[in-house]
Amino acid sequence: MRLNFCGTRGSTQAVGAEFLRYGGHTSCVAVSHGEDAVPTLILDAGTGLREVTALMAGRPFAGTILLSHLHWDHVHGLPFFRAADTDGARVTLLLPEQEDGACAEAVLERGMSPPHFPIRPRDLRGAWTFGTLMPGRHAVEGFTVQAREIPHKGGKTFGYRISDGKSVIAYLPDHCPTNLGPGPDCLGEYHAAAVELAKGADVLVHDASLLPEEVAADASFGHAAADYAVGLAVAAGARRVVLFHHRPNRTDTELDDLGGRLARGPVPVTVAADKGILEL
């Protein structure tokens, strides 16, 4: 399994010289079955989705886009994914089942239609199918995907556990564990859904929007501290942590410092960067 990190920021893009090394695109990870394979599974559709076209070797995209939730920073790339908005593309887009029972296309259309945007989801070229997922186990593009609801503010949010039969990644890009209590370190509970998704995973890709000293003031926006991600990996027996969904004003130097501090911890830690590649 290969992971291409195409967008690693959260909330909004980051632009400027102080963000060049880690990049400024919002959440998107492209997953393929091997080094030479093109991506067939995409996790979230932030502005980093634009960069997946370059990975397609000139082919239209044929695969599935799996959304963790519907906040802007996870969907704004959809109409700009050239390899999918083209004749010959075959795209299945799946998102968490909605509490009001709304269908996937109707929910997406709330933010992607006039007057907010010039086209609707159904106007994208190629063959697009929109659907919802329930919590549980699913077969998606040759991967086994386990979906669990996790706490995050402002709409149903899923974390995912993805396996190709050889390797396992846990993907929790937006996660607010303090919603369930302070936990042992006052950074949030290591609750059952998060531990289940991360249990024994080769890689835990996790929300790292906050520093511990920012949790008291800012966790109410729906995010976790980077240190919580490391603690969850230890609690669940995950082998490696990739810090993800960086705060948009977190500079390259600050991310270097964060990675250096946590590198001294109990599990290997990588700070995700746009255009980064991870082979499993």
Domain of 96 in residue numbering reads as 2-279
Per residue in 146-182, pLDDT (tens digit) is 999 999 999 999 999 999 999 999 999 999 999 999 9
How many CB atoms within 10 Å of residue 57?
Answer: 9
Q: Average of pLDDT values for 208-228?
A: 95
Q: Where residue 220 falls among pLDDT bands split at 50, 70, 90?
A: confident
Decide if pLDDT at 29 tops 90: yes
Residue for token digits 């230890």?
A: 234
Mean pLDDT of the chain: 97
Q: Are the C-beta atoms of 172 and 204 separated by less than 8 Å?
A: yes
Tokens read off for 12: 């909004």
Q: What pLDDT is stored for residue 35 in this prediction?
A: 82
What stretches of 131-251 show up as alpha helix (H) in DSSP? Answer: 192-198, 215-218, 226-236
Domain count, the chain: 1
The pLDDT of residue 36 is: 82
The Cα–Cα gap between 150 and 205 comes to: 14
What is the CATH number for 191? 3.60.15.10
Check if the beta carbon of residue 131 is closer than 8 Å to that of residue 92: yes
pLDDT value for 278 = 97
Q: Give the residue from 125, 119, 116 showing the smallest Cα distance to 81.
A: 125
